[in-house]
Amino acid sequence: EIRTKEMKKLVDFLEEEMKAAFEKAGYDPNFAKVTVSNRPDLCEYQCNGAMAAAKTYHKAPMIIAGDVAVHLEGSEALEDVQAVNPGFINMKVKKEFLGSYTQEMREANQLGVEHDSQKRCIILDYGGANVAKPLHVGHLRSAIIGECLKRILRFKGHEVIGDVHLGDWGYQMGLVITELRKRNPELVYFDEQYEGEYPEEAPFTINDLEEIYPYASAYAKEHEDYKEEALAATFELQNGRKGYRALWKHIMRVSIADLKRNYENLNVTFDLWKGEADAQPYIPDMVKMMKEKGFAHLDQGALVVDVKEETDTKEIPPCMILKSDGAALYDTTDLATLVEREKLYHPDEVIYMTDKRQELHFVQVFRCAKKTGIVPEDTKLTFIGFGTMNGKDGKPFKTRAGGVMRLSDLIHGINEEMYKKIAENRTVAPEEAEKTAQMVGLAALKYGDLSNQAAKDYVFDLDKFASFEGNTGPYILYTIVRIKSILNKYKENGGDMAECRISEPHSESERGLMLEAAKFTAVMEQAYEELAPHKICGYIFDLANSFNRFYHENRILGEEDKEKQQGYLALLDLVKDILMTSIGLLGFEAPERM
Ligand code: ARG
């Protein structure tokens, strides 16, 4: 077992030395905060503590900075420590230290990223597709970001239960049933007298379903009586009409099989395939409790729970538990789902991921769940709202015909575009090209999404996302492929990676690459704490750029100094591992060639 070491962040090492120096100089070590320099042209790391300490000690910051700097002479990790006006302490990392730190990363468990000391059970509610409706790009972000967060949380050692939480209980079901009835009134599902078993085989295919739902939905908008019928069918389904329940099961099975294929193409998997319907059995008892304990009251016929708080700056309307006709709502389902989750998993945290326009809904649900005791006080409830994926016109992404783009069509389009590029490059055998195109296409799509801060809207620009240059998924993959090919050539020529260790940097570009690599643990910690995939993207883009600079300025396989060459190769190996680990967390893979 080689990879068992755990390690501190580089910046923590530096800070430890800084603290000791503050103490030796007679100052409170709490001032000794070290950060990555915001002027990389001047130094690599910096400490601004002397400025803060000046007030406490009634001394000029420059004097304090100077006092401290003296005690960093002969430091193990720092060199070039300088006090500069008006009291910054600027520093560089010592060559030897940088070498041994990055070499240690190679030997460490998870490249030095440690598990959290407290393992938590976290339910991640993402995906959120609606059954019987085609999966559209609106659900794409939830799936992509959710999958990434799941992987980040697991990387930090937590138990994560991913639940797709299907929309499988609403009006769309009534619409499909109504349309089926209009087309095939003779089916046994519509015969209320029917006592026998229902057929195993669904009376429709996924293609039928995809055509039926949009048709029925549009038709209902134009025809009031049809809409009434669909609402009635929804109500009857929810109240247990046998034939409708049987049809519902068919719709579920056919639709879920299709959804699974779609999610698989996205490299997205769920541990639970539950949905709104699974929460229904919990509703009656939950409503009873809310009434008995006096949380719920009637408001214009509807049953509601007040959730506003004194400190609110805007109006937070009450949580709607039951409509005046007794029907359950989106609030109800999400609350009952929390009842179930508490009962089955007793999670430490539940994280939801939807379009940010649902934020108010979740504020209401979270408050209500806490207030009514559905979840314990110390259970963390987190909402992550993401922005809209827009087209180049700045409006929500649509097809050329103006409709909502289906996810499978979108993916197909990307793969085709990628295939053209890959085939043109001629680096991949024809029989490999399709698979490679899929891998690179997925990277283009996911990276294009994840590299933006989730809460922001972004423009889906396929030309940009699919480019092999710039801040894109394909650029990252291209860099990985380049490193792999160098390492492979080295091995093919009889080189032994086991002999390679990172030593001191020999040039500015090598040093830059090592410094970038050394930031990995700190970046991962931040991405985890802020649940922010874009931090990983920003980092690997910088790392890839550092590598490419190094690559263009140094001969690697042609290097004649054996020790120097082995150091290069070990560093490449580390950079490759960091990039591979990172894209694994982002949710895509790299091909061998592209
Ligand atoms: N099905 C919902 C939609 O399409 C998303 C579900 C999100 N999860 C939840 N627990 N409400 O908008």
Pocket test for ligand 1, best of 173, 340, 354, 361 (most atoms within 8 A of CB): 354
Least confident range of 112-121, 331-340, 390-399, 534-543 = 390-399
pLDDT band at 134 (very low <50, low <70, confident <90, very high): confident
Atom number, ligand 1, closest to the C-alpha of residue 358? 12
Length of the chain: 594
The residue with greater pLDDT, 460 or 551, is: 551
pLDDT band at 3 (very low <50, low <70, confident <90, very high): very low
128 pocket-lining for ligand 1 (C-beta < 6 Å): yes
The pLDDT, as a whole number, for residue 2 is 42
Residue 165 CA to ligand 1 center (angstroms) comes to 7
Residue closest via CA to ligand 1's atom 6 equals 128
Q: Is the pLDDT of residue 400 over 80?
A: no
The pLDDT, as a whole number, for residue 408 is 83
pLDDT band at 7 (very low <50, low <70, confident <90, very high): confident
pLDDT band at 430 (very low <50, low <70, confident <90, very high): confident
Q: How many CB atoms lie within 10 A of CB 283?
A: 17
Least confident range of 36-45, 116-125, 245-254, 451-460 = 36-45
133 pocket-lining for ligand 1 (C-beta < 6 Å): no
Residue closest via CA to ligand 1's atom 7 equals 128
Residue 334 CA to ligand 1 center (angstroms) comes to 9
130 pocket-lining for ligand 1 (C-beta < 6 Å): yes
Average pLDDT over residues 229-238: 94
CA separation, residue 444 to residues 160, 421, 469, 590, 594 (Å)? 26, 13, 11, 11, 13
The pLDDT, as a whole number, for residue 6 is 65
278 pocket-lining for ligand 1 (C-beta < 6 Å): no
Contacts of 280 (CB under 8 A, 6+ apart): 169, 238, 328, 333, 336
Q: What is the DSSP letter of 471?
A: S
The pLDDT, as a whole number, for residue 83 is 95
pLDDT band at 587 (very low <50, low <70, confident <90, very high): very high
- Which of 463, 457, 353 minimizes the C-alpha distance to 396? 457
Q: What pLDDT, in 10s, does the model give residues 412-423?
A: 999 999 999 999
Q: Is the pLDDT of residue 218 over 70?
A: yes
334 pocket-lining for ligand 1 (C-beta < 6 Å): yes
Least confident range of 5-19, 48-62, 87-101 = 5-19
pLDDT band at 402 (very low <50, low <70, confident <90, very high): low
Residue 421 CA to ligand 1 center (angstroms) comes to 37
The pLDDT, as a whole number, for residue 593 is 92
Atom number, ligand 1, closest to the C-alpha of residue 334? 10
Pocket test for ligand 1, best of 168, 274, 276, 358 (most atoms within 8 A of CB): 358
The residue with greater pLDDT, 170 or 25, is: 25
Q: Is the pLDDT of residue 225 over 50?
A: yes
Average pLDDT over residues 366-372: 98
Residue 142 CA to ligand 1 center (angstroms) comes to 10
Residue 129 CA to ligand 1 center (angstroms) comes to 7
pLDDT band at 112 (very low <50, low <70, confident <90, very high): very high
The pLDDT, as a whole number, for residue 136 is 77
On average, the pLDDT of the chain sits at: 94
352 pocket-lining for ligand 1 (C-beta < 6 Å): yes
CA separation, residue 28 to residues 11, 20, 51 (Å)? 19, 10, 13
The pLDDT, as a whole number, for residue 394 is 86
Residue closest via CA to ligand 1's atom 3 equals 128
Rounded distance between C-alpha atoms, residue 384 and residue 358, angstroms: 10
Residue 354 CA to ligand 1 center (angstroms) comes to 7
CA separation, residue 123 to residues 149, 158, 344, 386 (Å)? 11, 10, 11, 18
Q: What pLDDT, in 10s, does the model give residues 158-197?
A: 999 999 999 999 899 999 999 999 999 999 999 999 999 9
167 pocket-lining for ligand 1 (C-beta < 6 Å): yes
% of the chain at pLDDT higher than 70: 98
Pocket test for ligand 1, best of 165, 255, 374 (most atoms within 8 A of CB): 165
Q: What are phi and psi of 91, to 5 degrees?
A: -155, 165
Residue 276 CA to ligand 1 center (angstroms) comes to 9
Average pLDDT over residues 46-62: 95
> Bridge partners of 302?
299
The pLDDT, as a whole number, for residue 486 is 98
> Bridge partners of 389?
458
- The residue with tokens 């990676």 is 497
Atom number, ligand 1, closest to the C-alpha of residue 361? 11
Helices (H) and strands (E) in the chain, counts: 21, 13
Note the pTM of the prediction, 2 decimals. 0.94
Average pLDDT over residues 462-484: 96
Residue 358 CA to ligand 1 center (angstroms) comes to 9
Atom number, ligand 1, closest to the C-alpha of residue 354? 7
Residue closest via CA to ligand 1's atom 12 equals 128
Residue closest via CA to ligand 1's atom 2 equals 128
165 pocket-lining for ligand 1 (C-beta < 6 Å): yes
Residue 145 CA to ligand 1 center (angstroms) comes to 14
Residue closest via CA to ligand 1's atom 10 equals 334
Residue closest via CA to ligand 1's atom 8 equals 128
CA end-to-end span of the chain:
33
258 pocket-lining for ligand 1 (C-beta < 6 Å): no
Residue 169 CA to ligand 1 center (angstroms) comes to 11
DSSP per-residue letters across 418-469: HHHHHHHHT-S-HHHHHHHHHHHHHHHHHHHHHTS-TTS-EE--HHHHT-SS
Atom number, ligand 1, closest to the C-alpha of residue 362? 11
Within 47-136, where are the H helices? 49-57, 61-70, 95-107
CB of 374 within 8 A of CB of 337?
A: no
% of the chain at pLDDT higher than 90: 88
125 pocket-lining for ligand 1 (C-beta < 6 Å): yes
